[in-house]
């Protein structure tokens, strides 16, 4: 979070101070007093590219950590993913400032395009990752774990008395088809069928929750609040069970795509750096 804050502040300051320069046509920039500072090979522009490259390189550490996920002593997967996301955004921001919002060579254009695609695919992948139910340590929760949570919630509802028992029965009735599609998930047609089933279950469960809310209106406030909380936990996990297989498949496929795009970006970036070194530029200067 500290790195994200520092990067955001630095980007805002540099963009604000250099907005006049960045808005100039490319050919007019040479006469501007900030050209020596902000151009890609400038006093500030060049180090920004190096910092961006280091951040992007460190970002790939998450792939190594995932490969050895069972190894202890290297930090939690959740912490590594957080760094993966932060450095995956901070690095490209530094690279964008390094480029001075211009693309003047084929390697730079390819590297920038690949970087943009990688960032966008990473954001989508992070969204899919967040949809998959996870334990506190960041590991994915399995069907048995979620089913046990549903059973636990049902027992807690029934322990609240007649109103809780009625609520549990209503939710059980809405969830009778839960899990029926998960085992069949295979090709695209089955995935679409699973998606439709998950949305259908979600609608049924929402209607059931509305019915439960009405049935709890006459209950004491504290008991009604507790019952509603348990009922929503029950409903959330039922829907997660129905969609789990589909979400896991989608997240896995997208992760593979994101990794392959990242490797393409790395090759393009390496070519860009090699050209810069060949032309006589150092890493930071």
CB atoms within 10 A of CB 110: 18
Q: Is residue 223 part of a domain?
A: yes
Q: Is residue 167 part of a domain?
A: yes
Instruction: Judge if 40 and 132 occupy the same domain.
Output: yes
Place of tokens 């209950």: 219
Instruction: Judge if 96 and 126 occupy the same domain.
Output: yes
Give the contacts of 208 (CB within 8 A, at least 6 positions apart): 170, 171, 173, 174, 175, 235
Chain-centroid distance, C-alpha 168 = 34
Instruction: Judge if 129 and 204 occupy the same domain.
Output: no
Instruction: Judge if 30 and 109 occupy the same domain.
Output: yes
Q: Is residue 245 part of a domain?
A: yes
Instruction: Judge if 131 and 12 occupy the same domain.
Output: yes
Instruction: Judge if 179 and 272 occupy the same domain.
Output: no
Instruction: Judge if 107 and 40 occupy the same domain.
Output: yes
Q: Is residue 38 part of a domain?
A: yes
Chain-centroid distance, C-alpha 23 = 32
Q: Is residue 285 part of a domain?
A: no
Instruction: Judge if 85 and 172 occupy the same domain.
Output: no
Per-residue pLDDT of the chain (285 residues; tens, 9 = 90+): 676 788 888 888 998 999 999 999 988 999 999 999 999 889 999 999 889 888 888 888 887 877 776 566 677 777 888 888 888 888 888 888 998 988 777 777 877 888 888 888 888 877 777 777 777 666 677 778 888 888 888 888 888 888 888 888 888 887 775 544 444 444 556 666 666 767 777 778 888 888 888 878 777 878 888 888 888 888 888 877 777 777 777 777 788 888 888 888 888 888 888 887 887 776 655
User: Three-state SS string across the chain, please?
Assistant: CHHHHHHHHHHHHHHHHCHHHHCCCHHHHHHCCCHHHHCCCCCCHHHHHHHHHHHHHHHCHHHHHHHCCCCCCCCCHHHHHHHHHHHHHHHHHHHHHHHCCCCCCHHHHHHHHHHHHHHHHHHHHHHHHHHCCECCCCCECCHHHHHHHHHHHHHHHHCCCHHHHHHHHHHHHHCCCCCCCHHHCCCHHHHHHHHHHHHHHHHHHHHHHHHHHHHCCCCCHHHHHHHHHHHHHHHHHHHHHHHHHHHHHHHHHHHHHHHHHHHHHHHHHHHHHHHHHHCCCCCCC
**pLDDT for 37:** 93
**pLDDT for 273:** 81
**pLDDT for 21:** 93
Instruction: Judge if 110 and 192 occupy the same domain.
Output: no
- The domain of 245 spans 143-252
Q: Is residue 126 part of a domain?
A: yes
**pLDDT for 70:** 59
Instruction: Judge if 152 and 131 occupy the same domain.
Output: no
User: What does each C-alpha distance from 35 to 50, 78, 96, 108, 131 come to in angstroms?
Assistant: 18, 41, 16, 19, 46
Instruction: Judge if 151 and 12 occupy the same domain.
Output: no
pTM of the model: 0.64
- Rounded to an integer, what distance in angstroms lies between the CA atom of residue 147 and that of residue 168? 15
- Count of domains in the chain? 2
Instruction: Judge if 16 and 104 occupy the same domain.
Output: yes
Q: Is residue 258 part of a domain?
A: no
pLDDT digit string (tens) for 235-278?
Answer: 888 877 777 777 777 777 788 888 888 888 888 888 888 887 88
Q: Is residue 284 part of a domain?
A: no
């Amino acid at each position: 979070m500290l790195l994200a804050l520092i990067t955001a502040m630095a980007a805002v300051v540099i963009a604000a101070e250099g907005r006049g320069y960045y808005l100039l046509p490319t050919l007019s920039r040479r006469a501007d007093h900030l050209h020596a500072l902000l151009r890609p090979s400038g006093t500030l522009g060049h180090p920004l590219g190096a910092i961006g490259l280091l951040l992007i390189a460190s970002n790939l550490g998450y792939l190594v950590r995932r490969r050895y996920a069972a190894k202890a002593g290297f930090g939690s997967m959740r912490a590594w993913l957080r760094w993966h996301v932060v450095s995956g955004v901070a690095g490209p921001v530094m690279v964008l400032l390094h480029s001075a919002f211009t693309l003047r060579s084929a390697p730079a254009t390819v590297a920038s395009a690949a970087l943009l695609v990688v960032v966008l695919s990473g954001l989508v992948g992070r969204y899919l990752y967040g949809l998959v139910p996870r334990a506190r340590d960041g590991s994915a929760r399995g069907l048995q774990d979620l089913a046990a949570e549903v059973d636990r919630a049902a027992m807690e509802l029934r322990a609240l008395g007649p109103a809780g028992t009625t609520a549990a029965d209503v939710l059980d009735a809405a969830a009778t088809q839960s899990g029926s599609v998960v085992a069949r998930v295979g090709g695209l047609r089955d995935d679409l069928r699973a998606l439709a089933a998950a949305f259908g279950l979600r609608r049924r469960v929402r209607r059931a929750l509305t019915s439960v809310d009405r049935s709890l209106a006459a209950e004491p406030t504290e008991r009604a609040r507790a019952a509603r909380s348990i009922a929503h936990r029950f409903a959330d996990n039922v829907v997660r069970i129905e969609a789990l297989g589909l979400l896991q498949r989608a997240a896995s496929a997208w992760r593979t795509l994101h990794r392959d795009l990242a490797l393409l970006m790395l090759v393009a970036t390496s070519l860009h750096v090699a050209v810069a070194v060949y032309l006589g530029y150092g890493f930071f200067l």
